[in-house]
């Protein structure tokens, strides 16, 4: 599903990864991180896809909200497990969204 974000500007954190063969609770942790992020002040939404290369984009009101999420205790545990077990390679990019455009289906809301 496409995240329903506000009018720009806002911020996007793009997390791109290549997984290892180790599972060890990855799916449960990934789902928990989405649930936990949704409870964070400043969280706006998330989009994710994986077919070989994984890309997760989370949207935030501010750089301060992103920094708070990076420091969140459970998220820090997930980061460490990712580095030590789940990811062969990864990259995190933080961007300011200046504009957006597209088409939404009626069931997803109005076009911008």
Instruction: Please state, in angstroms and rounded to a whole number, the distance separating the CA atoms of residues 54 and 12.
Output: 16
pLDDT tens digits, 62-87? 999 999 999 999 999 999 999 999 99
Q: What is the dihedral of CA 17, 20, 24, 29, to 10 degrees?
A: 0
Instruction: Please state, in angstroms and rounded to a whole number, the distance separating the CA atoms of residues 101 and 80.
Output: 36
Domain boundaries, the chain: 10-108
Longest dimension (CA), the chain: 43
Instruction: Please state, in angstroms and rounded to a whole number, the distance separating the CA atoms of residues 43 and 69.
Output: 9
Task: Give the H/E segment covering residue 58.
Answer: strand 53-60
Q: What is the dihedral of CA 67, 72, 73, 79, to 10 degrees?
A: -60
pTM of the entire predicted model: 0.88
pLDDT tens digits, 7-61? 999 999 999 999 999 988 999 999 999 999 999 999 999 999 999 899 999 999 9
Q: Which fold has domain 10-108?
A: Alpha-Beta Plaits (3.30.70)
Instruction: Please state, in angstroms and rounded to a whole number, the distance separating the CA atoms of residues 82 and 64.
Output: 23
């Amino acid at each position: 599903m496409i995240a329903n974000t506000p009018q720009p500007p806002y911020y996007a954190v793009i997390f791109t990864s290549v997984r290892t063969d180790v599972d060890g609770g990855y799916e449960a942790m990934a789902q928990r991180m989405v649930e936990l992020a949704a409870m964070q002040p400043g969280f706006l939404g998330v989009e994710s896809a994986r077919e070989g290369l994984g890309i997760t984009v989370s949207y935030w009101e501010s750089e301060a909200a992103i920094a708070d999420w990076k420091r969140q205790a459970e998220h820090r545990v997930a980061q460490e497990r990712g580095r030590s077990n789940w990811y062969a390679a990864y990259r995190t990019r933080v961007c300011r969204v200046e504009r957006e455009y597209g088409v939404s289906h009626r069931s997803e809301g109005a076009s911008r």
